[in-house]
Structures are given as C-alpha cells and as structure tokens.
Amino acid sequence: MAAKTKFRGSFTALVTPFKNGSLDEAAFRSLVNWQISEGTNGLVPVGTTGESPTLSHDEHKKVVEWCIAEAKGRVPVVAGAGSNSTKEAIELAQHAEKAGADAVLVVTPYYNKPTQEGMYQHFKAINDAIGIPIIIYNIPPRSVIDMSVDTMKRLWELKNIAGVKDATASMVRVSQQRAAMGEDFNQLSGEDATILGYMAHGGHGCISVTSNVAPRLCSEFQAAWAKGDTKAALAIHDKLMPLHNNLFIESNPAPIKYAMSLLGKLDETLRLPMVPVTEPTRVAVRSAMVHAGLIN
C-alpha cells in the first residue's frame, strides 16, 4: 500500500537560529511553540530556509529532534533530509524516521545534475531504505535540474512517495501533476508569491518562508481558501504579497532572518557564505511588514 499524506494548509519552512556561532536551541524551541500557537498547520525543519547546507550532520539531526520533541504531535513534522549524495540522504531520512518525523522532504540532487533516470534511482533508493512518506522537493532555481511529470509519475508508484513541494512557480505544473497522479498526490507549493494561483489549480497547501514571520496570516489564508471564501483569501494574499516579494530580494534566508529579528524572535545571524541583508533590502522588508500589519 502506497504511503499517502493529507498535508493541508500552511507548513512553515523553519529558519535555524544561531547564537555565538552555535545552534540556538532555546530560540528554536520557542519558535516551534509560537508557530503552533499562531495556527501553523505543520513544520518543516532543516530545509533550505533552515540553512541545511552549512549545518553539520550532527546539528541537522539535533534540529530535527528538537522540532519533533517540541511539537509533541500537535502538528506534523516533515523533516528535511535531502542531499546530493544518495548515501547521505538515506542516512538523514533514516534518522528522521527514527526520531519520529511524520514524513521527510527530499530535494532533487543539486550540483551533480543527474538525468531523469538518476533522479528516479536516487529517490527509489531512499524509498527502499525507510518506511515513512517522502515529499519530493522540486526546486530548479537552486538544484539546476527539474524533475519531469513523467519521472514523478514513475516515483508515485513506489510505496513511500507521497507528494511534492513544487517550487517551479509554474501554475500549469500543478494541473499536469494532478492529471498524471490524481488527487491523492499531495501537492504543496514552495513558492509563496504564487500560492493563490497554485491553490486555484488544485494545490493542497504551501511550505512557506513567509509563514516564519507571518504564521497567523498564512494559516488564515489557507483556512479561507479551504472554506471557499476566495474574497477573504485574496484580501489576505494582497496583505502578504509585498512580504512574499521582498523576502526574496536577496537570497533566502537572509531577509526572513532580518524580519524575524524585528519581531525579537531570534538574532539576525547567518553562516557564511550567507550574509545579512543590505540597507535597501532592510527598508523593503520593514515596509512589507508594516503593510502586513506585523509592525508599526
């Protein structure tokens, strides 16, 4: 029986707080609780937004464990477990399963530039090594490769492949994937700015960067959409749209960490090669937060 996930709504692609060069456990645990209290529907630790490329494997595993321990089953935890090394991805996925994650998020292998067959074999190897659902993370702007709908359809036949985090920003792709795999294939957007169109094409929710700083508004948008209140959803979308844009003026997660520092949620600390945002971006992010009603 193939794994199925019914993930719906706003899932936060969590940032990883740092302090004095180390993980800030207290800030991270506090963030998890704040997200849940604000209505976030699920949590995704150690993805791109969580600066996974510059975390050691031990740090990566700690963040996953902290997230699961702090969530206490109140919302699903989809643990980042991707790597451009299949062996490493399997190790991280097996750890996430053992730690109690509800599913894993596995990115298409970056830098190596595998073929469609290489991607299929990568995900099949991870599928065969674990017993929890896998969400494919398709993000061509970062990984340089784009998983085709045909490859996704082949993978959907495997027992643990459950859905996709789609960061292609293509509205057409949602409908194409729904036509190929059906309604049970769990489609989550990885592109905040296109979420309205994504949902209109039959998407199920969003793994969001913006929801780090605006969790309540992001979950309210999803709730309005689920109720069929498109007018309310559009109004919230308009409120959030400057944030959706301005949080990506510079490379994620630098802008979102600045935004969260304005709320006093964490230090604006990143690991090289990520650096704090420039002054023009600070002005743009602050303006978007005012527009969304998050600060005065």
Sequence ranges of the binding site for pyruvate: 49, 207
Binding residues: 49, 207
Cβ–Cβ under 8 Å, residues 25 and 92: no
Can you list the positions of beta strands (E) in the chain? 9-13, 18-19, 22-23, 42-44, 78-80, 103-107, 134-138, 161-166, 186-189, 205-208
Confirm whether 137 is a catalytic residue: yes
DSSP 212: G
Quote the CA–CA distance of 4 and 7 in Å, as a whole number: 9
Task: Collapse the DSSP code of 280 into the 3-class scheme (helix H, G, I; strand E, B; otherwise coil) and give the result.
Answer: helix
DSSP 54: G
Q: Which of 61, 165, 239, 257 is catalytic?
A: 165
CA distances from 60 to 22, 55, 102 (A): 12, 6, 17
Confirm whether 124 is a catalytic residue: no
DSSP run (H or E) holding 175: helix 171-181
Q: Which of 62, 120, 137, 239 is catalytic?
A: 137
User: Known catalytic residues?
Assistant: 137, 165
